[in-house]
Amino acid sequence: MANTLDTAIKVPFIPFKFGLDSIVGLIPGVGDAVMLAAAMRIVYLGKKLGMPKPLIKKMVRNAALDFGIGFVPFVGDVVDFFYKANRANVKIMEKWWLQENQGHIDATTRESLSAWAQKTS
């Protein structure tokens, strides 16, 4: 979802990507409100996963900043092409999830490596 909102479209010949957030955000008022609702869906998923409140607040702040920037005529639209709040929120979520599940990830990796080593010996 974050990729669709922030980086789904690649500009040919230059290393720049943008998404629906940048395009729909060009519609005054309504576009930014619709994109805020989509951004809050990502925040909701983080809350549903059980993320701590400080991280949820940080994600809400990212979404609100992206929303607020969109209200500045022209400059806000240009900045919106570069500020990828949804991807930043997913990175926060992924980092938290990895920290929470590191023990399980390590154990699963050890088991897979052990099984692979037994097959190859």
User: Mind listing the pLDDT tens digit of every residue in the chain (121 residues)?
Assistant: 888 888 888 888 888 888 888 888 788 878 888 999 999 999 999 999 999 999 999 999 999 999 988 888 788 888 878 889 999 999 999 999 999 999 898 999 999 999 998 888 7
In this prediction the pTM is 0.79
CA distances, 15 to each of 5, 18, 26, 87, 113 (Å): 17, 10, 22, 17, 37
CA quadruple 113, 118, 120, 121: dihedral sign? positive
